[in-house]
Structure 1
Amino acid sequence: MYHLGVETSQDMWDVEALYDTCFAPGREALSSYRLRDGVLKVSDLCLIARDDLGILAAAIRFWPVHIGEAKTLSLLLGPIAVHPTRQGEGLGAMLMQNSLERARLLGWDRVMLVGDEPYYRRFGFKLLSGIKMPPPTNPDRILGMALTDGAWDSVQGEVCRAV
């Protein structure tokens, strides 16, 4: 059994260790990390899953970003990770669905991420056209999901830090 909760300051090192385990060295050199530098994460949406022994099994984080000249506010999802020994148990889907529903309830309109469309399609993410992430992001991996009807209509431009 897993216990879902909001990430606290006491969880930070466990979450960072999980990300180090799940992602290649140099993960913090990715362009999406430049959008997070000096920006507070959206704490109410950053969730973790621990097992009955209190061992961290999965985590998801969200950050605010601005898009285009209009500085349209959006959520940037990521990273999301499930410990390799816990993959295939539905933890990633549980975190994704729970956090997206929380985002809707908190009044967020849209969420984006950089990832594989075939995987994220099942959660409702689609390729975003007209949205540019800092290089060297592959434009075919920029995905978005509207949390309210029409939330991505006419949103375009470069993604930048929300400071």
Structure 2
Amino acid sequence: MVELGPEGPQDLWEVEALFDLCFAPGREALSSYRLREGVAPVAELCLVAREDGIVAGAIRYWPVRVGAARALLLGPVAVHPTHQGEGLGGWLIRESVERARALRWARVMLVGDTPYYGRFGFARLDGVAMPPPTDPGRVLGLALVPGAWDGVSGKVMPAADAE
């Protein structure tokens, strides 16, 4: 049985190994990683799924700013190859989004594929500029409260740069 819990300091290396396994070499060169440098993740939303004590999946969130608006940057989310196709990634996303809503976050964004993330309500964000070379068509957002993305535009910045 897979159990879900908060990511703790003891999970760091196992979770990083999972991300290394699931993503191409050089994943840390992506523009989204520039937004994470020197900024702590939102610990309450970083979750680890374990089966028999072994990491099966993980998700992380980071605080960012879009113009003057606070937002969450979802990612990375990964599921071990032995658990892919079981719905674990969807469970991580749905559970963490509900936790973000309960914590009174208004909006979430990510860089990803609309066919996958659209199932969870994410849609293309026009006027939101991720650092290059991000494809603008892959910048997606989800309003956790009605209208949270209305009128929000500008460059995405690390939260530390905008405080």
The equivalent residue for 2:65 is 66
Q: Cα distance, 1:158 vs. partner?
A: 0.4
Q: Tell me the TM-score normalised to structure 1 length.
A: 0.97
Q: Tell me the TM-score normalised to structure 2 length.
A: 0.97
The equivalent residue for 1:35 is 35
Q: CA RMSD in A?
A: 0.4
Runs of 4+ in 1 over 4 A off after TM superposition: none
Aligned length in residues:
160
2:16 matched to 1:19? no
Paired-residue identity, %:
65
Find the aligned partners of 2:83 and 2:26 in 1 and give their Cα distance: 23
Give the unaligned 5+ runs of structure 1: none
Give the unaligned 5+ runs of structure 2: none
Alignment counterpart, residue 138 of structure 2, candidates 138, 141, 158: 141
Find the aligned partners of 2:87 and 2:127 in 1 and give their Cα distance: 32
Q: CA-to-partner distance for each residue in 1:114-152, whole Å, 9 max, x for gaps? A: 000011000000000000000000000000000000000
Q: Cα distance, 1:85 vs. partner?
A: 1.1
Alignment counterpart, residue 83 of structure 1, candidates 61, 68, 80: 80
Q: CA-to-partner distance for each residue in 1:34-88, whole Å, 9 max, x for gaps? A: 000000000000001000x2000000000000111xx210000000000011101
Find the aligned partners of 1:36 and 1:155 in 2 and give their Cα distance: 21
